[in-house]
Structure 1
Amino acid sequence: MELYDLVELRHAIPEENLPAGAVGTIVHVFHRPELAYEVEFTDEEGRTLSSVALTPDEIRQRP
């Protein structure tokens, strides 16, 4: 996965009010200490709802 790819959550993140399947955009890629992605989730009008650092096993790339 790369910067600006669309991804979806494999599992809900209740503390961020994000359901499983929520779609977000990768806005940063961390390579250290381990691979992770900062994913931004927005509403229909483009307002940021949440920005969360996630590991590759927590998301899947959207086609």
Structure 2
Amino acid sequence: MKFAEYDTVILLKDYESEGLKKGDIGAMIMIYTEPNEAYEVEFVDNDGEVKAQIVLLPHEIGRYSK
């Protein structure tokens, strides 16, 4: 699944070391094509503070829709 910069995505698994849980919502901030397709995603807390910013593979995120 291809994503675009600024897409809203949903996390498909827990990342306990980053304080993230399956179902957390993030924003796509960077797209990488080399050496593999990957996406840098930013997650914020309820106060709008950055909770985590991590690079994820396509199978680790899904397109978010309300």
- TM-score class, shorter: over 0.9
CA distance in 1, matches of 2:29, 2:48: 14
1:58 partnered with 2:60: yes
Q: Give the structure-1-normalised TM-score.
A: 0.95
SS in 2 for 1:20: coil
Q: What is the Cα deviation at residue 43 of structure 1?
A: 1.0
Runs of 4 or more, structure 1, over 6 Å off, are: none
* AA matched with 1:18: L
Q: In structure 1, what is the equivalent of residue 27 of structure 2? A: 25
SS in 2 for 1:15: helix
Q: In structure 2, what is the equivalent of residue 15 of structure 1? A: 17
Range moving further from structure 2, 50-59 or 40-49: 40-49
* RMSD after superposition: 0.6
Query: Where does structure 1 lack aligned partners over 5 or more consecutive residues?
Result: none
SS in 1 for 2:9: strand
**Number of residue pairs matched by the alignment:** 63
Q: Give the structure-2-normalised TM-score.
A: 0.91
